[in-house]
Amino acid sequence: MMNKKQQRLIAQFYASLDETTASELTSEQRKSIERAIIATGLGSNNKVDIRKSISIFNKRYFFVFLLGRDFRQQLRNESPFAVFMMTLLMALGVLSLFALAVVTLYLIKSALGIDIFHNFSFGIWDWFKELMNIT
């Protein structure tokens, strides 16, 4: 039993297909195509499904972020480049979170008036006070 999203996706597929090609498909071929569309996860429901595109210098770029359970029968072999990019993105995410935590702790330390090194400042607290108009 297909859900509404899967039915809409299959209808869009057939609408984009050439009319002569679509008319030549047998019912067995249609069922096989529909099973393939559903099996590849194109019509699946994901908990997080973000698909956006942006224009930069008259060229369109897109990004897709999907998060949900994997119901596919066969797992794909990932390329070494994809594994490298995923590792790089995860490392950048962890480093960003660490840097944010350090800056937050530094701001808390400065708000409490604690000086670890006398007569030395990174200037982050002064910048933050100026940004927030704190006196």
Query: Taking 70 as the threshold, does the pLDDT of residue 73 lie above it?
Result: no
The separation between the first and the last C-alpha atoms of the chain, rounded to the nearest angstrom, is: 64
User: 81-117: per-residue pLDDT in tens?
Assistant: 988 999 999 999 999 999 999 999 998 988 888 888 7
Q: Give the per-residue SS3 of 10-52.
A: HHHHHHHCCHHHHHHCCHHHHHHHHHHHHHCCCCCCCCEEEEE
Query: Taking 90 as the threshold, does the pLDDT of residue 18 lie above it?
Result: no
Ranges of each domain in the chain:
4-67, 80-132
Phi, psi of 68, rounded to the nearest 5 degrees = 175, 180
Query: Rounded distance, CA 36 to CA 43, Å?
Result: 10
Query: Taking 60 as the threshold, does the pLDDT of residue 43 lie above it?
Result: no
Handedness of CA 96, 102, 108, 113 (dihedral sign): negative
**What's the confidence (pLDDT) of residue 123?**
81
Residue keyed to tokens 């008259």: 58
Q: Which residue has the higher pLDDT, 99 or 73?
A: 99
